[in-house]
Amino acid sequence: MMRKLLIVVGLTALHAWAEKPNIIFFIADDMLPRHFNCLPEGKGKNLTPHIDRLANEGVVMFEQHCASPICTPSRYNVLTGTYASRAQNNWFADVAKENGGQTVVEFNTHIVKGQTTLPALLKARGYTTGMVGKNHVVEAHGLRSFKNFDASATDPKNVSILKANHDHVCQAMREIGFDYADRVYHNNPDFLGLHEVAVQNMDWITEGGIDFLKGKRNNPFFLYFATTVPHGPSKASRSWNANPLISPVGYLDKAPDVQPARFTIPERIKEAGLPVNDDTCNMLWLDDAVGALIQTLEETGELDDTIIFFYSDHGQMSKGTLYQGGVHNPCIVWKKDGFPVGKTSDALVHIVDFAPTILEMAGVDYAPTDFDGKSYLSILKGEPAPTERIMYFELGYARAIRKGNWKYLAVRYPEHLEAMSEEKRRRVLEEWNAERYRKHLEIVTEDPKAPFSHLTAIPGGGHAESRSTGSYPGYFDSDQLYDLSQDPMEQVNLAKDPVYQETLEEMQREMQIILSTLPGEFPL
C-alpha cells in the first residue's frame, strides 16, 4: 500500500511556535513507497541520509491522506487548504458546464489572482514568501507555444519565448502571494514546449531556493520548494545525469554548484552497497537538495527557527484513482527535539489540513478563512485525535469518502459521455494521441472502444492513471463499498451485497452531506 511522506521540520520548541518560525514546504513529485527508508516498502533501499534524518527525528503520520491524487489538484489543496472542486478558473468552470454542471477535478483546477492562499495569508502577517520549482497549479496568462516541438533551444527566438514564459509564470506566482518566484517549471518537463529542454534540473531549482534563503530580510520566511523529480522523465540522460546547463529558460551560462557533483551520485550509491539505477540515483539527487537547504540554514543560523514540510504530492501506487493506493499518503512531521505525540501517529489527517496547521504554527488566526481542512497541531502536541473524522476525496468522475474502516466510492459519467458514439470516441482518441505523438510521449491505447478511466473521458483513459485504470476488480462499478479492516487492498466490492445495504446507504448519506457544501453537481 502506498505510504508517502510529508515532513514538517520544526526546529523551534513547542512554546516558541507562536513566535513566527520560518517555514519551508518541500513538495516532491510522484514519490513511491519504495523511495522512503522509513516505510516498510523502502527500508534500506535508498541512500537518502537527509530525508532519513527528518524521519528518524520526527513523527511519521501513517494515516495522512490526499484528496485528489494527481499533480494539479494536490498542489491546489496544499496552497489553499480547500478542495479543488472550489476552483474558480474559467477552464474548470467551462468543463463543468460541458458536463451539465458536474464538476470534473483533474488538471484543470488552477489557482487564480484574488483567491485566498496560504502564502498570501502568511505574507499579510509579516512573512517574506518565496517559491521555486514546479508550478502546475497557478494560472499563468500569456504563455506562448512553439510550432515545432523539436525546434532548437539555442535559436534566439525560442530562447526569448522560453524566458518570457518563465517570467509570466513567476509573475503569476507573485500575484497569488509569493514575494519571490524564480527557477520555475510551469509544467512537467515534457510540457515546456521544446523537446530539447524536456529534462530535469534539480540543481537549478535548489540554487533558486538557496538564493531565497540567503536573501536579506528582517522577518520570518515561508518557502514553497517544489521539485520535478522523481516524476518522469527519469532516465539518466534526462534527469540526474542530464546536461546541467539545460533549464526551462534554455541553456545556462554556468552550471549550478549548490549540490554534490552529479558524477558522485553513482559512486556514493555503490559505496553504500546499493544498486545503481535511475531510481536510486534520482532519489539521492533529490536528497542532496534537502541537504543543501538544511546546510544553508545551518550556515545562516536559522535552522533552529525553521519548520520544514517535506511532502510528496499524492499516493502513487494507484495514481489517478481514489483507491487507498492513490489517497493514502503518509507523512513525517519533524522538529529538532521531536513531538509529544511520539515517533508515529495513526491519526487521520488530510492534505487540506496543511494550510491551517502551518498558520497555527505561525501564530496566525485563520478563523475568518473558510478552509476545508483542520489544523492538526494539537495532535502533534499529543492531544487525542478526533475519533470519527470523515475523509473526502474527489477526482475526475469519481468521489469517495472514508469513515473509520469503511470506504465508499462512486463513479458517475454524465449522460453525453455514456452515450458517446463510436465515431466520436475514435475522433477524440485520435486527436488525443496525435498530440502525444507530437511530443514523443507514450500512447495508452488506440482502441476507441476501450472504457474511460475514472479521471479522463478518453477511451482507455489518460497516461497519468494508465497503470491504475481497470486494475481493481470493482473498477468499472458505479458504486463501490469496501471494509478496509478486512480488505485494505479494496478487492471485494460489497455494494451489491444485501448484508451491507444499510452501510452503503449510510455512507451515501454522509457523502451527500459533504457534496451539498461544494460547488457543482454530482448525482448519487
Grid cell digits, residue 219: 522577518
Contact between 30 and 231 under an 8 Å Cβ cutoff? The reply is yes
The predicted structure's pLDDT at residue 24: 93
Angstrom distance (rounded) from CA 104 to CA 106: 6
Nearest to 166 by CA among 195, 150, 194, 143: 143
CA 275 to chain centre: 27
| CATH number for the domain whose boundaries are 397-515 | 3.30.1120
Tell me if the domain spanning 6-387 has CATH number 2.140.10.30: no
Domain with CATH 3.30.1120 in the chain: 397-515
Grid cell digits, residue 160: 526569448
The predicted structure's pLDDT at residue 339: 86
Low-confidence ranges of the chain (pLDDT < 70): 1-18
Nearest to 262 by CA among 238, 248, 247, 281: 281
pTM: 0.95
Angstrom distance (rounded) from CA 419 to CA 422: 9
DSSP string for residues in 270-336: HHTT---SHHHHHHHHHHHHHHHHHHHHHHHT-GGGEEEEEEESS--TTTTS-SHHHHB--EEEE-T
Angstrom distance (rounded) from CA 17 to CA 12: 6
Residues with Cβ within 8 Å of 98's Cβ and at least 6 positions away in sequence, in order, are none
Domain with CATH 3.40.720.10 in the chain: 6-387
The predicted structure's pLDDT at residue 336: 84
Grid cell digits, residue 319: 495514481
* Residue found by looking up cell 523539436 in the block: 150
Angstrom distance (rounded) from CA 217 to CA 200: 31
The predicted structure's pLDDT at residue 159: 97
* Residue found by looking up cell 488566526 in the block: 365
- Tell me the residue type at 298: E
Residues with Cβ within 8 Å of 381's Cβ and at least 6 positions away in sequence, in order, are 14, 339, 340, 341
